Structure 1
Amino acid sequence: MVFLAYPSSQICFGSYPAFAAGTSRSCGSQQGESCSAGARLAQGGIVLQRLLGLGRTPNEGEVSEILSAELENWRVNPRHATTILSSLARLQLPRTATYVLASMRARSLEANVFHYNAAISACEKAQQWQLALRLLSSMPGMRVMPDEISYNAAISAFEKGGQWQLAMRLLSNMPDMRVIPDEISYSAAISACEKGGQWQLSMRLLNNMPDMKVIPNKISFSAAISACEKGGQWQLALGLLSSMPDMRVIPDAISYNAASSACSKGGQWQLTLGLLSNMPDMKVIPNQISYNAAISACEKGGQWQLAKGLLSSMPSMRVIPNMISYSAAISASEKGGQWQLALGLLSSMSAKRVLLDEISYSAAISACSKGGQWQLALGLLSSMPDMKVIPDEISYSATISACQKGGRWQLALGLLSSMLDTRAIPNKISYSAAISACSQGGQWQLALGLLSSMPEMRVIPDEISYNSAISACEKGGRWQLALGLLSSMPDMKVIPNKISYSAAISACEKGGQWQLAMRLLSSMSDMRVIPNQISFSAAISACEKGGQWQLALGLLSSMSDMRVLPNEISYNAAISSCEKGGQWRLALGLLSSMSAMSLIPNEISYNAAINTCSKGGRWQLALDLLSSMPDMRVTPDEISFNAAISACSKGGRWQLALGLLSSMPDMRVIPNEISYSAAISACETGDQWQLAQGLLSSMTAACLRRNVIGTNRSGCIFAKGRLRIVG
């Protein structure tokens, strides 16, 4: 905003000496006065040139020296001072403008409101709100009364400087100074509140304008809509947009874009697309910002197809996609699991001469990470410097995560250590992904080392970092360390969550510590953490391994009381606990009840139930379960067959046991040592020593290792058979 009291004179920067000489020759006595004015104008241009030559940080003495010969001319015609100050405002030179005012006061020249307004405007344009405040505050002491232009420029300076409190104070002080705020005053104050995240104040100011007989304009509404957008108030933003015609204010592209962005941030992709389609009906042409907001809304809503369609439609609407358009579309592809599309969009950016940035690359790398394409992710990261794009912590973190998902913990650690060489500072995400990579690779020592090194790198571990480390200890069978990490989290001001407790319970389960697992599960409620399926399943499995089938069943039944639905893992652990406790009836009951819970039994469910029947001497039920598996679209595996063969062996049904063994290849299941041992045991029960010896030979032919059980049993059977022959 430039404030000029009178029309500016044209300032030329040509050959002023020649101009002066030509003027002198053409002037007579009657034109002396006009020639003198022209000379002063030329001199003013030279003064401006010299002031500009001082740069942006002159000192007061330099400015005073340049103005020394010109100030007397300004005494005659103050408009020349206004012209110089206005030019300095346009060129964003507030310090020079302030020193010009100081020089005028030092020579007792009148500095009027137009001079001050121009200087304050220079401060506003250069975002020097402190200087603007100083100038405004000094005006009454210099017997210059600020007007609405003075206040508006100062409020705008505060808005650009993020000083919404000062902007509000100035606005409220204007009536006390007998200055009536206008729509510019309110719009600048609303915009200041918008930038300060004060959407409630922005709405209050907008609503107060009619009471102050000030009509809101496009700028007022757009600033208020933008404030609602930043405050996450998409409903209010839409309400303001729809109310504009009622106030006889026609929305423009800025109004629509702010409302679209509000809907986008609020996850309202349908409304965002509706606003975009309505813009032409309101004779508003969508621009890059409009489309970018719509593509971003589709990205947040998981609508990658729509995002792609919007991007491809932009050229037909004479809107050129920019890096923001492409980056949002690539991110939409990433969230939709479309890594091929993400790579295609990234490559098309270069083809269409759209500048690539770290956001575009990071989104594409993340897409490759989610698609399990760790090699492509590494390739993208390494190609960034060739495209003059510096990888940042997001790029590295996404690539480390890709290596983690690909089971490449060595590469993940290498990337983490190389970040410092590229001036990319590792953050929580980088470390957490690397710790998780070590966890999956069974490197619990490295995982703990990374966690402990985070504070040294001034990176505060969060719950994800701790969860990954606890999981690493769980996989490494270090339940004591897992519990130590869990207990240390509050000391680091990190609140354990469901994942933290579930990983610790699982560590106790693997370590055979069912009592500790139960204690952790019960303590979750005290810590205001609601157990989930994983927490309960790990605790049930811990009880199963500890032979506590009653506790396991109790936990399963209590899940519904905690509004947690059991899953296949919960039931499988409970059935397995019944197997170890010899409770075949309960195991079968649990298996049959899974369908009532809309759960589909898998091979683990059936195997546990068959094992239970085997231990309970219920070979018929074991065979029934095995034969019913294909009907339930569950393919039996070697564990299923082994359990059924064992059941037949215990029931003295050696023929059935051998039949099952011979049928395994037809089901594409390869018999193993356990299969043969169970069949040999069945032959032992039936005194079939020749068959047992044949099975033992078959094991050798199949390159199977004879285990102790199979060898002992076949030896006993052979001995029995030989005794019978001799007798």
Structure 2
Amino acid sequence: MAAVRCQWALAELEQASISERTCNKVIATCGRQIQWQRAIQVLFQMVEVRQATSISCNSCMAACSRASHWQKALHLMRCLRGFIRHDGVTYKQAARAAGESSWRSGLRLLQEGFEKMTEADVIHYDLALSLRQSAGSDHWPEALHLMQNMVEAQVQADVRSYSSSMTFEAAWPTIGLLFQDLLQRMEADEYTCNTAVSAAPWVRAWCLLRRKEHGMSVVSHNAAMAGTPWFKAVQVLHTLETGGLKLTAVSSGTILSQSRDMEWQRPLWFLSRCQSRDIQSNSIVQSNVLAAHVDAGHWQETLGNVMAYHSRGGNLNVALKTLSLSAFSQAASWQKALALSASERIDVVLLNALVTCCARVARWQEGLEVVCGSLVRHSLRASVVTFNAALSACAAGQQWQLAVNLIEEMEGQRLAPDSLTLNSMMLALGEAGFWQHAFEILKMFSSCNCEANVVSFTTAITACPAHQWPQSLVLVQQAASDAAGETSWAAAVTTLGRAVRWREAMCLGHIAMEGTHDAVMLAYGCYQMLGGGSAQVTELRACKKELKELIETRNCHPILVRLAWHDSGTYDQRIKEWPQCGGANGAIRFDPEMNMGANAGLDKARGYLQKIHEALGFWWYLPW
């Protein structure tokens, strides 16, 4: 309707001759419709015929301000200085527009208007206080200085002036003095009373509440009860009721928030009192009451109240659902928890909590049966959290095949898995022997917008069978740049141990102890060199064959063992660094070491190995 009025006004302007009254009407109508471009066009038409006035300019600036184009408003003011004599309203309108983005610019314009107009009214000071308020709580001394200037200029402050000054986060004595001065001069409104009560200590707030003639409302009482001791909050409640004000859910929640350290009976008594007076409680009130129940260990009452509140149509917030989970966790008798959940209305969140509870007490089968039955009976749709809880229950009962069936069911319902779901899937598939599918799940993390963590890589590495030990090294290499942890390294070493790849396991373990995750390429190189089918592997096998023939033909294995023992150095358990021995540096290859009496005869052992060394010297470094 307002848009139609704007069109009518423009049509009237086109049909009639341009007059100041008609143009001002069009500008005001366009301003209310936030059509600031049209308003500016009409204003400049007035300027061309010399009919523009400060009223026209002020209306046009107000239109720009409503459209959040405060720069346009200031530009318009500067452009029209040579055509229109600006008044105090013009500067206030410009300051109000500029203050939306820059409180300093707004105050500068106010000061400029004050210097040109030579006097300021209460609207001028109220606007200055409002701009100081938007600047932050640190500017409360400037606000008090403005109030002092009002007194010196004999400008009568109004309620808005006091309200703006009291909203600063100043000390209570300052706010209290302002409030007392306000009460002596005029009647305070509800907003000002609420501001004073919120800033006052609870004792002062209590005194303010007893002065009912000053417009105290339910909001004032709620502010007074915040931070008040329990017994005083109840007295405030009594004052509120005797004053004819209706108790709200916010009032109840404020009182109950003061009773968390009290016995659980007091919040329950207060809740029953609210219900007897037909006071609608919200989820916050219920959370405060039930939190006291859980803290006292009364999980049965907690669950009963949650479900009763939910059956009456109340919405379960995060706090109530968390309390339900805590109550289920405290349930020492899982049979009673199952019976309680079956007898009342239940939703998916409570089912998830119930499954988690059953899994913790090793009753995974009963938990899954209740979930399946409740989903069908109440026509509920399982969520991702439901499947996560069910998979965790299967893991607790080592029912891996059942977990695989749940995974297929989840895929059929087209639910997007999260990180916990994917990790549970990999664990179930790995334990069930489907290691290939576990690797595919690891690749799904990026497509599902999830980030693979230490648990993810560890689970995938653990799923590697013995004959897939090279894959564990590949996963460790990948995890080193993402989320490798001690468990990932340990899982890889365990996989190598199952495959009887002790050399690779020791190499990987040595790298893990050094903490040089960038050296994983060395471990992967061990795989390529020792088991990857490269040329070095062929040479190593030839070396083993030559050594076997040497031992069988010359029967020289004792002296070869003696050579290895002498060259390895002396074991010292006090040495903490790897490999905990001294002298393992191949010193026996030099003549001074070889000519020692303790090493007599070892030159023959070196002679036996000379031929192999010349052919395959890449593998030798100790005796040569």
| Normalised-by-shorter TM-score class | 0.3 to 0.5
The TM-score with structure 2 as length reference comes to 0.46
